[in-house]
Structure 1
Amino acid sequence: MSPRTISDINDDLLAAACCISDLAHHISEHGPENVLVLNNLERATDGFKRLLIERRAVEAA
Protein backbone atom coordinates (compact mmCIF):
# COMPACT_ATOMS: atom_id res chain seq x y z
CA MET A 1 0.00 0.00 0.00
CA SER A 2 1.49 3.34 -1.01
CA PRO A 3 1.54 6.20 1.49
CA ARG A 4 -1.18 8.78 1.30
CA THR A 5 -0.40 12.09 -0.32
CA ILE A 6 -0.75 15.49 1.33
CA SER A 7 -3.57 16.17 -1.14
CA ASP A 8 -5.48 13.08 0.01
CA ILE A 9 -5.01 14.02 3.64
CA ASN A 10 -6.06 17.62 2.95
CA ASP A 11 -9.25 16.35 1.31
CA ASP A 12 -10.02 14.31 4.42
CA LEU A 13 -9.21 17.29 6.67
CA LEU A 14 -11.66 19.43 4.70
CA ALA A 15 -14.36 16.77 4.98
CA ALA A 16 -13.76 16.45 8.73
CA ALA A 17 -13.88 20.23 9.17
CA CYS A 18 -17.19 20.38 7.29
CA CYS A 19 -18.58 17.60 9.47
CA ILE A 20 -17.47 19.40 12.64
CA SER A 21 -19.05 22.62 11.36
CA ASP A 22 -22.36 20.90 10.59
CA LEU A 23 -22.46 19.25 14.01
CA ALA A 24 -21.58 22.51 15.77
CA HIS A 25 -24.33 24.29 13.83
CA HIS A 26 -26.82 21.60 14.85
CA ILE A 27 -25.79 21.96 18.49
CA SER A 28 -26.08 25.76 18.32
CA GLU A 29 -29.64 25.49 17.00
CA HIS A 30 -30.92 22.56 19.07
CA GLY A 31 -28.74 22.61 22.18
CA PRO A 32 -26.28 20.07 23.55
CA GLU A 33 -28.86 17.66 24.94
CA ASN A 34 -28.54 15.13 22.11
CA VAL A 35 -25.85 12.70 23.30
CA LEU A 36 -25.53 11.09 19.86
CA VAL A 37 -24.67 14.44 18.26
CA LEU A 38 -22.12 15.16 20.99
CA ASN A 39 -20.57 11.72 20.52
CA ASN A 40 -20.36 12.30 16.78
CA LEU A 41 -18.72 15.68 17.37
CA GLU A 42 -16.16 14.05 19.63
CA ARG A 43 -15.43 11.35 17.04
CA ALA A 44 -15.09 13.95 14.28
CA THR A 45 -12.66 16.06 16.30
CA ASP A 46 -10.63 12.98 17.23
CA GLY A 47 -10.44 12.06 13.54
CA PHE A 48 -9.40 15.59 12.65
CA LYS A 49 -6.58 15.42 15.20
CA ARG A 50 -5.40 12.06 13.81
CA LEU A 51 -5.39 13.53 10.30
CA LEU A 52 -3.28 16.49 11.46
CA ILE A 53 -0.77 14.08 13.00
CA GLU A 54 -0.72 12.04 9.79
CA ARG A 55 -0.20 15.20 7.73
CA ARG A 56 2.74 16.29 9.88
CA ALA A 57 4.30 12.84 9.55
CA VAL A 58 3.95 12.86 5.75
CA GLU A 59 5.40 16.37 5.56
CA ALA A 60 8.38 15.34 7.69
CA ALA A 61 9.11 12.28 5.55
Structure 2
Amino acid sequence: MERTTILNAEYALQTAASAIRRDVDEIDDLAGWCAYNPGMRTYLLTGDSPPATRRCRCTRH
Protein backbone atom coordinates (compact mmCIF):
# COMPACT_ATOMS: atom_id res chain seq x y z
CA MET A 1 0.00 0.00 0.00
CA GLU A 2 2.83 2.45 0.78
CA ARG A 3 4.38 1.79 -2.64
CA THR A 4 1.06 2.62 -4.33
CA THR A 5 0.83 5.88 -2.39
CA ILE A 6 4.35 6.82 -3.45
CA LEU A 7 3.64 5.97 -7.10
CA ASN A 8 0.43 8.01 -7.04
CA ALA A 9 2.26 10.97 -5.51
CA GLU A 10 5.02 10.68 -8.10
CA TYR A 11 2.49 10.64 -10.92
CA ALA A 12 0.68 13.67 -9.46
CA LEU A 13 3.98 15.58 -9.20
CA GLN A 14 4.93 14.71 -12.78
CA THR A 15 1.53 15.88 -14.00
CA ALA A 16 1.84 19.14 -12.07
CA ALA A 17 5.38 19.66 -13.35
CA SER A 18 4.20 19.21 -16.95
CA ALA A 19 1.44 21.77 -16.49
CA ILE A 20 3.87 24.25 -14.91
CA ARG A 21 6.37 23.68 -17.71
CA ARG A 22 3.68 24.47 -20.32
CA ASP A 23 2.70 27.62 -18.43
CA VAL A 24 6.32 28.79 -18.22
CA ASP A 25 6.77 28.13 -21.95
CA GLU A 26 3.68 30.24 -22.68
CA ILE A 27 4.97 33.05 -20.44
CA ASP A 28 8.32 32.89 -22.20
CA ASP A 29 6.61 33.08 -25.61
CA LEU A 30 4.55 36.07 -24.44
CA ALA A 31 7.66 37.82 -23.11
CA GLY A 32 9.41 37.30 -26.43
CA TRP A 33 6.40 38.63 -28.31
CA CYS A 34 6.17 41.70 -26.06
CA ALA A 35 9.84 42.42 -26.71
CA TYR A 36 8.89 42.97 -30.36
CA ASN A 37 5.70 44.89 -29.55
CA PRO A 38 6.39 47.65 -27.00
CA GLY A 39 2.85 49.03 -27.19
CA MET A 40 1.39 45.70 -26.14
CA ARG A 41 4.00 45.35 -23.40
CA THR A 42 2.92 48.73 -22.00
CA TYR A 43 -0.72 47.71 -22.18
CA LEU A 44 -0.13 44.41 -20.39
CA LEU A 45 2.02 45.94 -17.65
CA THR A 46 0.04 49.11 -16.98
CA GLY A 47 -3.42 48.65 -18.46
CA ASP A 48 -2.94 51.83 -20.50
CA SER A 49 -4.08 51.71 -24.09
CA PRO A 50 -1.30 51.25 -26.60
CA PRO A 51 -0.55 54.39 -28.61
CA ALA A 52 -2.60 54.81 -31.76
CA THR A 53 -0.87 53.55 -34.82
CA ARG A 54 -0.23 56.04 -37.56
CA ARG A 55 -1.73 55.18 -40.87
CA CYS A 56 -0.09 56.06 -44.12
CA ARG A 57 -2.04 58.82 -45.81
CA CYS A 58 -0.90 58.09 -49.29
CA THR A 59 -2.72 59.80 -52.15
CA ARG A 60 -3.03 58.62 -55.69
CA HIS A 61 -1.77 60.91 -58.40
Q: TM-score, normalised by structure 2?
A: 0.47
State which structure, 1 or 2, has the greater radius of gyration over its C-alpha atoms: 2
Name whichever structure is richer in helix by fraction.
1
